A and B are shown apart, each in its own frame.
Chain A
Amino acid sequence: MSTTAHGESAPVADRGPRPAPSPAAKKIGGVLGWFDDRTGLAKPVRYLMHKVFPDHWSFMLGEVAMYSMVVALLTGVFLTLWFIPSAGHVEYTGSYIGLNGIHMSEAYKSTLDISFDVKGGLLIRQIHHWSANFFIAAVGLHACRIFFTGAFRKPREINWVIGTILLLLACIEGFAGYSLPDDLLSGTGIRVMEGFVQSAPIIGSYLAYFIFDGAFPGEAIIPRLYIAHVLLVPAILVGLVAAHLVLVVVTKHTQYPGPGRTNENVVGFPVMPVYAAKAGGFFFIVFGIIALTSALVTINPVWMYGPYDPSLVTADSQPDWYMGFADGALRLLPGWLEFSALGYTLSLNLALGSIVLLPVAFGLMGAYPFLEAWVTGDKREHHLLDRPRNTPTRTAIGMAAITCYLVMFLAAGNDLMAIKMGLSINDITRVLQVLFFLGPIIAFIVTKRICLSLQRQDRELALHGRESGRIVATPDGRFYEAHEPIDKYTMWNLVDYDAPKPLELTSGEDARGVKSPTAKSEKRRAAWSRFYFSDRIPPVTPGEVAAAHHDGHGHEAIEGGHREAVGSGSHSAGH
């Protein structure tokens, strides 16, 4: 029932005798033959067409990211035909009556022209902005999927690092993009950027003057952001996405564990025809949903903000959502973090939330696979994903990080929350300041407990089967609910995972455990290993199931996930 495709070097095995080619196939063969004579691509392309991709809804997130990036690139090219990246002053005389006679930059005027005077221009602008939002959201969710399923483990650490860089670049690209129209909101964003660049110790004011070619706002920032936005960053983005995809092909896709799925195979559907249709069609679905959203939901109505003027500001000024966490960090940091001494000023209240936060957050994210691999000492290749519940500590770390992010993100809307909910902005900010430290700890503990409970529930199901809803009365007058055993496929889903034990310092499995210069680091590592693995629910073994069945309805005999698995075949005492 299955086709077996071989590795890179071997040709794909033929499936039976081939029917005589139809005239159409001959003709295509002629054209393709012409190309193959000159490129030799028939073999690698055929290999790719037979490539198998596993199926799961969560694998779609990366596709959404890639497709919305393509949509953003396409519409971005359209916009360059009309957008003028210049701060040169002009008087507006276009179709939007509300701004008639107002002096503004050419960038803002051309954005208004795209929105009001180019037929369909507003649609392209809205699709561009929406696709950028879809892109960044999808990259973020895709990263979450990779993290919580452990897909970043060997041999995919490089792709995790590339993905981290892509997420950072996507945010930067988005920031540069929404700064270009030079409306009052985007100018305020640049103003804050200038403010935090200036907060860099020693070189801050020089850096700011170099970026802006002198005093803020100057006339250089728009053309400079423009070339970064349309050439520099997209070129790096596209290059990294290409490398990302090549590595996916080289390492083959991961798959969720399940019956028939092993660490040595990929079970799924071949590119031709199933994935070509599904993934190809999915591009149009993503594009279509973005177009529909753009038609119905206005995003960034720049005409309502007016041209940028450094002395003016709109109420509830907020960056695009993906920069919200950094803006929120700026709102949470207290003013006493600014220090002056010896005639110099160190503005940590600004620097910590910006020029420190971004590299540290993304640096930790990029480093996580290496940190976890160091703790676990695991050097195997992993192609089967983890169910998040089966790695409680990792899942808890991820939820703690997300909580931290959400607290900062919510802080960026502290003014909106205060207005909409009638609360004091001071109270909201104080609470969020506390939650920044407390929230991740709570999230960690709660998540880990939930994971362990879910694992226990799985154990329960594997050991005793499903509750049938049938109450059985025994001759001696007792009642119990009959449990139905589960089939072997469901069973496999419940038991196919690893629950490593914490490393022990004196254990013989590590030859370097003897007194050595690395003893200290080994000790640290053992402590981290305990942090990760001391709470463990081992998978049910056949012996335990046998014991449970012997025991009839007595659950208690096999309880206790913390303890060592019940010895095979031995019937535990009691009952």
Chain B
Amino acid sequence: MNDNDNRPAHGHESPSGGTAVSLEHGHVAGSGNVPDRFENPGLPPHQPRHADVDPKAAKRAERQVLALFTLSILGTLGFVIAYFAIDIEAMTFFPFFGHVSVLHVLLGVTMALSLLGIGLGAVHWAKTLMPDHESIEERHPIHAAPADREGFVDTLADGGEKAQLGRRPMIGVLGGTALGLFAVPPLLQVLGGLGPVPGSQLAETFWKGGMRLVRDPEMTPIRADEVTLGSVFHVLPEGIDGETVHGRPDSETRNDEDLGVLERKAKAVVLLMRLDPSQFQSQKARDWGYQGIVAYNKICTHAGCPVGLYEQQTHHLLCPCHQSTFDVTQDCKVIFGPAKRPLPQLKITVDDEGYLVSTQGFMEPVGPSYWERS
């Protein structure tokens, strides 16, 4: 379809005459004596600048440009001096900015002077002293001439003809298939080598039954009587740092024992809180806790940030990333925000010595949701 067929009045003919410009963008000329559209009046007369008519102003502009270039040179010198003269550890106090590194600020400011001097000088030069007469450049249609377009198509068709694609179509079919497939080997290599398949790792954590709850980062076990009402502990399973393993590893936890400490922590971190047992609204919280001490996984069930804020008065846990709010008195169910599932609870009790231990691992996958999570 022709590009211009719906607007017959519009054409690419050059405007006739030197400055007379036709300005139609597809408007049909009006009928009657009064024209339908205004005529483009052409460029307004040039307004001379101060520096064009007043030699003093021109001289002043020149001096300003020279001053700016000099400022740039001084800035560069200042940078070099500051670099060698000032100790990297020197600090100073500026109101509003606070404690700042002297070297950093001086280097930055002198560098800025060195750059701005050049830039402002050049622009000022261009605006005051260089010609400000506007030039006119004609546009030409972007597309090639119709003959060239036809020639292009002909050449293409001719090439196909000479390659005998029409007569021997199987060459095209199989050649195309081969071209479509040749990327498979490199892609397979790179995709296959990117990483392992998740297996059941996302569904498991380092926790299993009989592990002591230890403080992070001291890695010391916690006695139940140390957890006072209203307190909150940042807790990890004993042995997560790989140095001590409480109990024998079995097949269930093998996956996580293979992981590094950070990867284990990314799933196993737990928050331990003590509430008055009467505050819990479900029996499960009491059964899975110990005398009002409850342990919940710290990884948000939304996007996986650690649920970092505990409001002691309301017993709400708040994730600072997207503001999901979990209510500890209601099995950590979501009471606000984009998360859907409650934080998984870790069933705990105390061992013979009075230390808190887990009675089993997490009974559901922790952290953000994924497709095959049931």
B136 within 8 A of A: yes
Which residues of B (219-237) have their CB < 8 Å from a CB of A? 234, 236
**A215-B259, A250-B142, A277-B122 are contacts. A542–B38 as well, Cβ < 8 Å?**
yes
Q: Which residue, B37, B139, B369, has most C-beta atoms of chain A within 10 A?
A: B369
Answer whether A278 and B126 are a contact pair too, CB < 8 Å, given A5-B137, A310-B266, A313-B306: yes
Q: Which of chain A's residues have a CB closer than 8 A to the CB of B23?
A: 262-263, 496
Q: Which of B101, B116, B139 contacts A266 (CB 8 A)?
A: B139
The contact string, 1 if C-beta is below 8 Å from chain A, for chain B 260-271, is 101101110100
Q: Is A52 an interface residue (CB 8 A)?
A: yes
A295-B107 in contact given A338-B340, A344-B374, A380-B3 (Cβ < 8 Å): yes
Contact B122 A278 (CB under 8 A): yes
For the complex formed, measure the closest distance between the CB of A308 and the CB atoms of chain B, giving whole angstroms. 8
Chain B residues with CB below 8 A from A525, complex form:
none
Chain A residues with CB under 8 Å of B323's CB are: 331, 414-415, 425, 429
Does A312 sit within 8 A of B, measured CB to CB? Answer: yes
Question: Does B159 lie at the interface of the complex (its beta carbon under 8 Å from any beta carbon of A)?
Answer: no
Query: Which A residues lie within 8 Å of B133 (CB)?
Result: 1-2
Scan A532-570; emit 1 where CB is below 8 A from any B CB, else 0: 000000010111001000000000000000000000110
Task: Say yes or no: A2-B136 contact (C-beta < 8 A), given A198-B370, A291-B111.
Answer: yes
**Which residues of chain A in 330-345 are interfacial with respect to chain B, using CB atoms and an 8 Å cutoff?**
330-338, 340, 343-345
B81 within 8 A of A: no
Q: CB of A194 within 8 A of chain B?
A: yes
A541 to B320, CA, bound (A): 61
Q: Is the CB of A568 within 8 A of B7?
A: no
With contact pairs A312-B306, A330-B338 given, residues A496 and B40 touching in the complex (Cβ less than 8 Å): yes
Does any Cβ of A come within 8 Å of B373's Cβ? yes
Q: Is A210 an interface residue (CB 8 A)?
A: yes
CB-based nearest B residue for A195: B303
Q: How far is the CA of A564 from the CA of B214 in the complex (A)?
A: 82
Q: How far is the CA of A377 from the CA of B1 in the complex (A)?
A: 13
B152 in contact (CB, < 8 A): no
Q: Is the C-beta of B322 less than 8 angstroms from some C-beta in chain A?
A: yes
Is there an interface contact between B369 and A269, defined as CB atoms closer than 8 Å?
A: no
- A542/B123 in contact, CB under 8 A: no
CB proximity of B16 to chain A, nearest CB, Å: 12
**In the assembled complex, which residues on chain B have CB atoms less than 8 Å from the CB atom of A291?**
108, 111-112, 115
Pairwise interchain contact A120-B83, C-beta atoms closer than 8 A: yes
CA distance A199 to B341 in the complex (A): 14
Query: Is there a chain A Cβ closer than 8 Å to B280's Cβ?
Result: no
Bound together, the chains give a CA A51 to CA B369 distance in angstroms of 57
Interface-side segment among B54-62, B189-197, B242-250, B353-361: B189-197
A4 within 8 A of B: yes
Highest count of chain A CB atoms <10 Å: which of B12, B109, B115, B322: B322
Contact for B368 among A277, A331, A350, CB less than 8 A = A350
Q: Is the beta-carbon distance between A350 and B139 smaller than 8 angstroms? A: no
B146 close to chain A: CB less than 8 A? no
Cβ-based interface call for B97 (8 A): yes
| CB-defined contacts of B27 to chain A, threshold 8 Å | 498
Do B137 and A349 touch (CB < 8 A)? no
Whether A311 lies near B138 (C-beta < 8 A) is no
Using known A-B contacts A252-B139, A277-B125, A294-B108, determine if residue A264 contacts B304 with beta carbons closer than 8 Å: no
Q: How many residues of B are in contact with the other chain, CB < 8 A?
A: 117
Bound complex: CA A52 to CA B138 (Å): 10
- Cα–Cα, bound, A542→B29 (Å): 12
Out of B88, B122, B372, name the residue touching A280 (CB < 8 Å). B122
Complex Cα spacing A191 to B197, Å: 19
From residue A86, how far is it (CB to closest CB) to chain B in Å? 14
CB distance from A215 to the nearest CB of B (A): 4
In contact, B198 and A206 (Cβ under 8 angstroms): yes
A281 close to B336 (CB less than 8 A): no
Asked whether A7 is an interface residue with its Cβ less than 8 Å from the other chain, the reply is yes
A295 and B112 contacting across the interface, CB-CB below 8 Å: yes
Q: Is B176 in the interface zone, CB < 8 Å from A?
A: no
Indicate whether A333 sits within 8 Å of B338 (C-beta atoms), given known contacts A120-B83, A285-B120.
Answer: yes
Q: How far is the CB of A34 from chain B (nearest CB, A)?
A: 28
**What count of chain A residues pass the 8 Å CB interface test?**
138
Distance between A513 CB and nearest chain B CB, rounded to angstroms? 12
Q: Which of B109, B334, B339, B371 contacts A346 (CB 8 A)?
A: B371
Docked Cα-Cα span, A265 to B340, in Å, equals 60
Decide: B88 and A119 in contact? CB cutoff 8 A.
yes
B371 touches A123 (CB 8 A): no
Q: Which residues of chain A in 213-267 are interfacial with respect to chain B, using CB atoms and an 8 Å cutoff?
A: 213-220, 250-252, 259-267
Contacts of B138 in A (CB 8 A): 4-7, 264-266
User: What separation, in Å, do the CA atoms of A569 and B31 have in the docked complex?
Assistant: 11
**Most A CB within 10 A of own CB, among B35, B83, B321, B339:** B321
Q: Is the CB of B305 within 8 A of A568?
A: no
Q: Bound complex: CA of A19 vs CA of B38, how far in Å? A: 44
Closest to B30 in A: A568
Query: What's the least CB distance linking B160 to chain A, in Å?
Result: 26
Chain B residues positioned under 8 Å from A261 (CB to CB): 40
A491 CB within 8 Å of chain B: yes
Q: Does A509 contact B (CB under 8 A)?
A: yes
Flag if B21 contacts A119 (CB, 8 Å). Answer: no
Q: Is the CB of A259 within 8 A of B338?
A: no
Interface centre among A126, A277, A346, by most B CB within 10 Å?
A: A277
Complex contact A281–B134 (CB within 8 A):
no
Q: Does A379 contact B (CB under 8 A)?
A: yes
The smallest beta-carbon distance between A194 and chain B, in angstroms, is 6
Q: Does A160 have its Cβ within 8 Å of any Cβ on chain B?
A: no
Complex interface: stretch among B41-49, B179-187, B286-294: B41-49
Decide yes or no whether A388 CB sits under 8 A from chain B. Answer: no
| In the complex with contacts A268-B135, A277-B123, A381-B142, A541-B371 CB distance below 8 A | no
* Whole-angstrom CA separation of A463 from B136 in the bound complex: 30
The yes or no answer to A316 lying at the interface (CB within 8 A) is: yes
Q: Is A313 within 8 A of B308, CB to CB? A: yes
CA A1 to CA B132, docked complex, whole Å: 11
Check B195–A295 contact: CB distance below 8 A: no
Beta-carbon contacts under 8 Å, A391-443 to B = 414-415, 425-426, 429
**Among candidates B4, B31, B304, residue contacting A216 with C-beta atoms closer than 8 Å:** B304
Alpha-carbon distance A32/B19, docked complex (angstroms): 36
Instruction: Check B118 for interface membership: any CB of A closer than 8 A.
Output: yes
Check B302–A381 contact: CB distance below 8 A: no
Complex Cα distance, B137 from A266, in Å, reads 5
Which among A4, A192, A219, A382 is the interface contact of B136 at CB below 8 angstroms?
Answer: A4
Contact yes or no, B116 A288, CB < 8 A: yes
- Contacts A264-B139, A379-B3; is A277 near B130 (CB within 8 Å)? yes
The docked-state distance in angstroms from the alpha carbon of A320 to that of B126 is 37
- Which residues in B have their C-beta under 8 angstroms from that of A280? 122
Which residues of B have CB within 8 Å of A134?
A: none
Q: How far is the CA of A1 from the CA of B44 in the complex (A)?
A: 12
Q: Is A518 an interface residue (CB 8 A)?
A: no
B95 partner residues in chain A, CB cutoff 8 A:
none
Task: Find chain B residues with CB under 8 A from A259 CB.
Answer: 40-44
Taking a contact as CB atoms under 8 Å apart, the answer to whether B195 and A264 are in contact is no
Cross-interface CB contact of B372 among A205, A217, A313, A337, cutoff 8 Å = A205
CB pair B119–A546 under 8 Å, yes or no, is no
Q: Are B119 and A283 in contact (CB under 8 A)?
A: yes
CB within 8 Å for A202 and B371 given contacts A273-B130, A310-B262:
yes
A98–B34 Cα distance when bound, in Å, is: 82
CA distance A518 to B104 in the complex (A): 67
Contacts of A510 in B (CB 8 A): 6
Q: Would you list the 5 A-B pairs with minimal beta carbon distance, nearest first?
A: A295-B108, A281-B122, A284-B119, A195-B303, A260-B43
- 11 pairs from A and B in contact (CB 8 Å cutoff): A2-B134, A3-B135, A205-B198, A205-B202, A219-B260, A277-B130, A291-B115, A294-B108, A331-B323, A331-B338, A384-B25
Since A210-B191, A260-B41, A269-B132 are in contact, a sample of 20 more A-B pairs with Cβ atoms closer than 8 Å, ordered by chain A residue number, is A95-B88, A119-B103, A198-B304, A201-B371, A202-B371, A204-B370, A205-B202, A205-B370, A274-B126, A284-B118, A288-B111, A288-B114, A288-B115, A295-B108, A334-B338, A336-B340, A345-B369, A498-B27, A510-B6, A542-B35
